[in-house]
Amino acid sequence: ETGVTQTPRHLVMGMTNKKSLKCEQHLGHNAMYWYKQSAKKPLELMFVYNFKEQTENNSVPSRFSPECPNSSHLFLHLHTLQPEDSALYLCASSQGWAESSGNTIYFGEGSWLTVV
């Protein structure tokens, strides 16, 4: 139990489908993140939300659409994805307001996405 819960753990979708990944954190944190982990590549930061406001969009294609309705929930809406988008998508959270304090980022177990 990491305090950050992601669903579904595995998702297979066609290129024309619309699906969503869900993340919920039970740690009382203010900041939430989406990372992408692909084989043979470093972790890529996709989006950052601080107090429900998006503070970072790391040049992510528009076929990925994040949503953060409150500080505890984060979604990643997926639409017309490509096979190269197949990866492990990791949600994370931190007590992010005090940036200078070196707050630890805590990760969920990830959602394995396969685009066919």
Partner 1 sequence: AQSVAQPEDQVNVAEGNPLTVKCTYSVSGNPYLFWYVQYPNRGLQFLLKYITGDNLVKGSYGFEAEFNKSQTSFHLKKPSALVSDSALYFCAVRDIRADSWGKLQFGAGTQVVVTP
- Nearest alpha carbon to residue 24 among 96, 108, 94, 89: 108
Any contact of residue 53 with partner 1 (CB under 8 A)?
Answer: no
Closer to partner 1 by CB, 55 or 82: give it. Answer: 55
Q: Which stretch binds partner 1 (CB under 8 A): 12-20, 50-58, 62-70, 76-84?
A: 50-58
Task: Lay out the site mask for partner 1 across 6-25 (x = CB under 8 A, - = otherwise).
Answer: x-------------------
> Both tokens of residue 116?
């066919």
Any contact of residue 33 with partner 1 (CB under 8 A)?
Answer: yes
41: amino acid identity, one letter: K
Give Rg (Cα) of the chain.
14
How many CA atoms lie within 13 Å of 85's alpha carbon, on the beta-carbon side? 22
Closer to partner 1 by CB, 69 or 102: give it. Answer: 102
Query: In 3-state terms, what secondary structure has residue 85?
Result: helix
Closer to partner 1 by CB, 13 or 88: give it. Answer: 88
Distance CA(102)–CA(79), nearest Å, equals 35
Q: Which residues bind partner 1 (CB under 8 A)?
A: 2, 4, 6, 31, 33, 41-43, 45, 48, 50, 55-56, 90, 92, 94, 96, 99-102, 104-110, 112
